[in-house]
Chain A
């Protein structure tokens, strides 16, 4: 029988605000324990929450970015449970009425082998504002556990999808797309290692063609896309094997162990808390007006979809190119800067999505750390267009530029990579080669086309690669037919 995996994601994105969601305490990652905790973070008797407007601004921004319904009135609720890192004994979250309602994200699933890539719409169920908990610190003091409340009260937007994904690749594509989007609209720094972007993945399997969802297990806190892929693949195999062996799946929270590549149940949901949600009486309903939305809209950068469409129209680029170029706001800006500096758009697109991206990937860098400025790259591309250097030579120049050896012109000069543009010099080389290869000339004249290419090769070799191949072609043809 054929199995189908069904995946939904819950992503906690830490919002980029100056202070915590319900207090004026600062948020600095990595600070000394409990130095970013005011009386509200510590949940002293008598303290009260006050909603951070910046966090609301971020939530509206996200809602607009995914074309979602933004609730004109949403409610903060208390999620009650006891845990040492939860100082109030409840987390302020949103339950029945979240700030962001239904929306959608379009993902690009890359090609794998001979299976072509495709795009797919992933529906967003909701996104709600909530506060983060603190951290338990084990081992700092012997025999005791410490509590660090620096993170307690950090603003989060929890983004929940419908169970729309059908493979680990789709889930990862969604997570990457979302990761890019929240950075694009400046609501999250996207730092997965520091926990600014955390994904919980709900995985279930069912027989293909059936409607009913299988029992799901939730994989918690995956802090890289690689681990997400591995965890989902392992979990999917495990669930299928369990069912095929006659077992059953129990709802559970599981953790992924990157060392073994396995998932393991942390706690079963039966032991889970009854969270006793109820509206937080300390906070008024969050009211968002059309004016509020208009203000946020005015502050929104051009979204990737819009930019992609504009690039297609403005630069006559393919959908493939524009998707790649708009994979991040910084990459798109780099591309625009290269064209603005005078490079041809198609050529710039090829280089930015090709050589530049490859180099960044190789060195595990982001576009912000690119070693060749947009203006410098534009100069290099112009040297290809104006025939100064060949494409092959350009790659060599680019490597040197990346290594900091100078501008394109400087490197072309020092390395002597300039193409011969003087037709007299090229003709002299052609004449020498033809004189030395009369047999080949005869073969060509006898109708052997291959001989022509062989001659071109000889000429290029004799020119030490500096001859312009197109020019060589032209001149050689003229000479052989003369």
Chain B
């Protein structure tokens, strides 16, 4: 049952083969058993969760269930959920009980889904290993010595370890796709503006986007049907007609269901820096796509190399401003003792924020300062447009772009934590899509052996054109009809 798809769970619930309370309880007992070692969840609240499950059962009994009614979903602790502690992985918000719901939370509530708990994450979503969390690192369920990736590491680990049916994540520079790759799951970052950011604690507003993290493309499509949609409370939310993200998922009627699909392979995604084992897995996945009928086109995204420097100007700039509200005045951490107002600000923020958050606030403050703004922020905005233009050019020659989601498999905890620049390279293949606002996803494509002999998951990244999520999901879905990588799960008793 823990390995069932969302559709299977929905069918079982609606056929009353199982109740939501039973299903929820089975996940909660798995969490009780495994979470102490994995640390995927920051906050659990059994009574709230079970009350939602009971309400879902009543709704199912009343015959007006929606596809996700009664299904337990883990929520990244970046989404404000009324009455739930919402920490964003930070000491700053360690005691913050959200008094309102994020749009995404409201959508899940209206769908009748059950909030299973709030998942661990890098502090304020800043990190690629989940090691910056104030609530401790998260173990990769495939190897407890390794990181799950980040920033949505808790959600990734929870899905991989089957500690939830599916989870939400957010992706500012790769925070859904890189952990999905490192934990062997399917994750989608939608086009910027598809999912409302209202109530999602801001890191870098022009890049942040919420999306699903689940076992399969089909599960992601069902999650997208809940998460996507216009919200007038987010000015950057796109006012489009709502769409059914499952509409293109079909059972293959031939051996070549993707005949004619043009897949672009950017040479920059296969250059130095890519782990050999990862490269082999990606090549095998591409070969599989050829068998499904796809055509391979060599393309170039010439400004890929600039994406990390541009990102590390723009994202910290926005973050430095977004995080100014955590000043100890109205809520959040306030130093116990201080001499005056300025001292209160300094001490509260010095104590409340971790090293990576401080590093980015400092970078962001610097690049926005008088005299530096033009050279850094403005220049970065110009290059951001060039990067977006690279994709416009590329999509003239192909339908989707494929490549690795991350340059390596999961690395060991502590390995990169003192070397931020190496850590930042984890997002080399994902950041450019955030800068361009494009949708991107990662799906399990196989395993690569680590130097200590562990088989670790590898994710294939698919980048689509704006609003091509439904098509991308089907492209992933077709692959998942002929492969079983996405059904593999780690044996938690062996790791």
Using a CB–CB cutoff of 8 Å, the interface residues on chain A facing chain B are 39, 42-51, 78, 80, 82, 84, 87-90, 147, 274, 276-278, 281-284
Contacting residue for B235 out of A84, A147, A274, A283, CB 8 A: A283
Q: Which residue of A lies closest to B324 (CB)?
A: A89
Give me the 9 closest cross-chain CB pairs, A-B, nearest first: A89-B324, A276-B368, A281-B206, A281-B205, A46-B199, A45-B201, A43-B325, A46-B201, A46-B80
Instruction: Report if A50-B232 is in contact (Cβ < 8 Å); known contacts: A44-B80, A84-B329, A276-B321.
Output: yes
Return chain A residues, CB-CB under 8 Å to B377: 278
14 A-B residue pairings within 8 Å (CB atoms): A45-B326, A48-B234, A49-B235, A80-B324, A82-B345, A87-B325, A89-B323, A147-B329, A147-B330, A274-B370, A276-B320, A276-B369, A277-B373, A278-B373
Indicate if the CB atoms of B368 and A278 lie closer than 8 Å: yes
B236, B324, B377: most-surrounded residue (chain A CB, <10 A): B324
CA distance A281 to B321 in the complex (A): 11
A456 to chain B, nearest CB (A): 79
A147 to chain B, nearest CB (A): 7
Indicate if the CB atoms of A282 and B235 lie closer than 8 Å: yes
Q: Which residue of A lies closest to B92 (CB)?
A: A45
A49, A89, A147, A277: most-surrounded residue (chain B CB, <10 A): A89
Return chain A residues, CB-CB under 8 Å to B79: 46
Q: 8 Å CB contacts to A: which residues of B383-427?
A: none
Indicate if the CB atoms of A48 and B233 lie closer than 8 Å: yes
Return chain B residues, CB-CB under 8 Å to A88: 324-325
Indicate if the CB atoms of B202 and A46 lie closer than 8 Å: yes
Does B99 count as interface, using CB distance less than 8 angstroms? yes
Q: 8 Å CB contacts to A: which residues of B182-239?
A: 197-202, 204-206, 232-236
A146 to chain B, nearest CB (A): 11
Indicate if the CB atoms of B235 and A50 lie closer than 8 Å: yes
A44, A49, A78, A82: most-surrounded residue (chain B CB, <10 A): A44
Q: Which residue of B lies closest to A145 (CB)?
A: B341
Does B122 count as interface, using CB distance less than 8 angstroms? no
Return chain A residues, CB-CB under 8 Å to B323: 89
Q: Which residue of A lies closest to B200 (CB)?
A: A46
Does B249 count as interface, using CB distance less than 8 angstroms? no
B363 to chain A, nearest CB (A): 13
CA distance A45 to B323 in the complex (A): 9
Beyond the given A46-B98, A281-B236, A281-B318, could you list 13 further A-B residue pairs with CB under 8 A, ordered by the A residue number?
A: A42-B330, A43-B325, A50-B232, A50-B235, A51-B235, A80-B320, A80-B368, A84-B329, A89-B324, A90-B321, A274-B369, A278-B368, A282-B236
CA distance A181 to B73 in the complex (A): 57
Does B100 count as interface, using CB distance less than 8 angstroms? yes
Does B317 count as interface, using CB distance less than 8 angstroms? yes
Does B468 count as interface, using CB distance less than 8 angstroms? no
Instruction: Report if A284-B236 is in contact (Cβ < 8 Å); known contacts: A80-B321, A82-B324, A278-B317.
Output: yes
Indicate if the CB atoms of A44 and B100 lie closer than 8 Å: yes
Return chain A residues, CB-CB under 8 Å to B86: 45
Does B312 count as interface, using CB distance less than 8 angstroms? no
B102 to chain A, nearest CB (A): 6
Indicate if the CB atoms of B233 and A276 lie closer than 8 Å: no
B184 to chain A, nearest CB (A): 30
Return chain B residues, CB-CB under 8 Å to A80: 320-321, 324, 368
Return chain B residues, CB-CB under 8 Å to A78: 321
Return chain A residues, CB-CB under 8 Å to B321: 78, 80, 89-90, 276, 278
Return chain B residues, CB-CB under 8 Å to A278: 317, 321, 368, 373, 377
Instruction: Report if A46-B102 is in contact (Cβ < 8 Å); known contacts: A274-B369, A278-B368.
Output: yes
Return chain A residues, CB-CB under 8 Å to B317: 278
Interface string of B351-378 (1 = CB under 8 A from A): 0000000000000010011100100010
CA distance A44 to B330 in the complex (A): 9
Q: Which residue of B lies closest to A38 (CB)?
A: B100
Indicate if the CB atoms of A89 and B201 lie closer than 8 Å: no
Return chain A residues, CB-CB under 8 Å to B331: 44
Indicate if the CB atoms of B197 and A45 lie closer than 8 Å: no
A44, A45, A276, A281: most-surrounded residue (chain B CB, <10 A): A45
CA distance A282 to B233 in the complex (A): 11
Q: Which residue of A lies closest to B329 (CB)?
A: A84
